[in-house]
Amino acid sequence: DIHRASTTAPVNIAVIKYWGKRDPKLNLPTNSSLSVTLSQSDLRTHTTASCSASYSKEDSLLLNGAPQDVSGARTQACFRELRALRSQLEDSDASLPKLAALPLKIVSENNFPTAAGLASSAAGFAALVRAIANLYKLPSSPTDLSRIARQGSGSACRSLFGGYVGWEQGSASDGSDSVAFQVAPASHWPSMRAVILVVSAAKKGVSSTTGMQTTVATSTLFASRASETVPRRMQEMQNAIQNKDFETFGKVTMMDSNSFHATCLDTYPPIFYLNDVSRAAIKVVESINAAAGRIIAAYTFDAGPNAVVYYLEENEKEVAGLFKTLLGEKDGWKGERGEKIEGNFA
Ligand code: DP6
């Protein structure tokens, strides 16, 4: 017989960026970070995990129908940790089926074009870890699962929670205290929206993993970002979320994105994630805010040129409206909590 469980995990978009590892093997970061998890109906990965004695010996993973390599250290770490927890359960209760010893088959689908170059490893590893935990009927909390998903991809630990989510960098060398925590549920500030501008569908030039390692090794701006700037902003951001203070939320979001990309430029050889269209998007946000006389829109960019713009529902017309006009409403689609527009400024 085949044992099976499914789950979905959404993408999260950081407003305080994770950039730098103090331990690349365990994905332990050099600073805490904070993100907003999109709703389940937006960008997400759906994953089914199954295991059976009838499967061929090897574990396998299909992503959007294509076989993926599961021999990498990150995927292996997730499998190993989850199997160890299942084995403990089986050791303590002899009536449980022996699932830990069986080959795993993981089938994942993204509901957005993988080619769009949008962060998918976060949703991917979060869904993979939770699907296997469900399959194994583990009593693990989201915090426990975040500790495991972090080893798959750092940012994945934040997608185990909905709403406004922090990732505490922790200080333990085994990573036991480097976990995600919920700052506030989505319902706390339900008018938050995000529009994603797909500037380029190309795959990123420098991967996050490689980029952060080079930054840690060469950037002179990096040390003060990690030790002073980010710790202060983590506090400011948590307060802004508690107080539903969009001006501070937006300002800190934009400044932290700029700080992260400045650190990338300060890396040697330099890393450029933003392009001319990204910079045009920044100018549009600046002009929206100038016209409003306050901050009603905030941009942020990950390790690529695509812009994510946060705004509140009541300012939908001014913010998404202006972008829509610029983009000519090309290839747009609307999710439950955010508007996604594909296209560029051409
Ligand atoms: C710029 O989580 O993809 O999106 O741990 O090496 O898998 P690995 O890195 P990853 O890095 C994300 C970097 C970022 C900022 C963020 O999401 O916090």
> What is the ipTM metric for this complex?
0.99
| Measured distance CA(37)–CA(176) in Å, rounded | 23
Dist. CA 93 → ligand 1 center (Å): 38
pLDDT at site 79: 98
In short, whether 154's Cβ falls inside 6 Å of ligand 1 is yes
Residue 104: pLDDT over 60: yes
Average pLDDT of the residues in 225-230: 98
| Measured distance CA(158)–CA(138) in Å, rounded | 19
pLDDT at site 330: 45
Q: Return the minimum-mean-pLDDT range out of 53-57, 263-267, 318-322.
A: 318-322
According to DSSP, the residues that pair with 21 across neighbouring strands are 29
Average pLDDT of the residues in 11-15: 95
Which residue minimizes the CA distance to atom 5 of ligand 1?
Answer: 154
| Measured distance CA(16)–CA(248) in Å, rounded | 13
Rounded to 10°, the helix 121-135/142-152 angle is 130
pLDDT tens-digit series, residues 19-29: 999 999 999 99
In short, whether 157's Cβ falls inside 6 Å of ligand 1 is no
pLDDT at site 327: 59
Residue 190 pLDDT grade (very low, low, confident, very high; cuts 50, 70, 90):
very high
pLDDT at site 332: 41
pLDDT at site 220: 97
Q: Return the minimum-mean-pLDDT range out of 118-127, 166-175, 206-215.
A: 118-127
pLDDT at site 156: 97
pLDDT at site 95: 97
pLDDT at site 124: 95
Q: Return the minimum-mean-pLDDT range out of 68-82, 200-214, 255-269, 289-303.
A: 200-214
If one compares 288 and 41, the residue with the highest pLDDT of the two is: 288
If one compares 85 and 56, the residue with the highest pLDDT of the two is: 85
pLDDT at site 198: 78
Average pLDDT of the residues in 56-83: 96
Residue 114: pLDDT over 90: no
Residue 116: pLDDT over 60: no
Average pLDDT of the residues in 150-173: 97
Any idea what the Cα angle at residue 299 is, between residues 29 and 217, rounded to 5°?
30
pLDDT at site 202: 65
pLDDT tens-digit series, residues 294-344: 999 999 999 988 889 999 999 998 987 777 666 554 444 333 333 444 433
Beta-carbon contacts of residue 218 (< 8 Å; ≥ 6 apart)? 266, 267, 268
What's the alpha-carbon Rg for the chain, to the nearest Å?
20
Residue 61 pLDDT grade (very low, low, confident, very high; cuts 50, 70, 90):
very high
pLDDT at site 337: 34
Residue 131: pLDDT over 50: yes
Dist. CA 346 → ligand 1 center (Å): 29
Dist. CA 294 → ligand 1 center (Å): 30
* DSSP, res 266: T
Mutate to test the pocket of ligand 1, among 208, 267, 299 (most ligand atoms within 8 A of CB): 208
**Confidence (pTM):** 0.93
Residue 76: pLDDT over 80: yes
Give the amino acid at 46.
H
Dist. CA 20 → ligand 1 center (Å): 9
Average pLDDT of the residues in 50-70: 95
| Average pLDDT of every residue of the chain | 90
Q: Which helix (H) or strand (E) holds 60?
A: strand 60-63
Residue 83: pLDDT over 50: yes
3-state DSSP assignment of residue 297: strand
Mutate to test the pocket of ligand 1, among 78, 155, 215, 302 (most ligand atoms within 8 A of CB): 155
In short, whether 121's Cβ falls inside 6 Å of ligand 1 is yes
Which tokens is 146 given?
């975040």
What are the DSSP calls for 145-200, one per residue?
A: HHHHHHHH-GGGGGGGS-EEEEE-----TT-TT--EEEEE-GGGSTTEEEEEEE--
Beta-carbon contacts of residue 33 (< 8 Å; ≥ 6 apart)? 14, 16, 17, 18, 155, 158, 166, 167, 230, 234
Give the amino acid at 74.
R
The burial class, CB within 10 Å (0-12 / 13-18 / 19+), for 184 is middle
Residue 276 pLDDT grade (very low, low, confident, very high; cuts 50, 70, 90):
confident
Beta-carbon contacts of residue 75 (< 8 Å; ≥ 6 apart)? 61, 69, 128, 152
Atom of ligand 1 nearest to the CA of 35: 18
In short, whether 256's Cβ falls inside 6 Å of ligand 1 is no
In short, whether 31's Cβ falls inside 6 Å of ligand 1 is no
pLDDT at site 119: 61
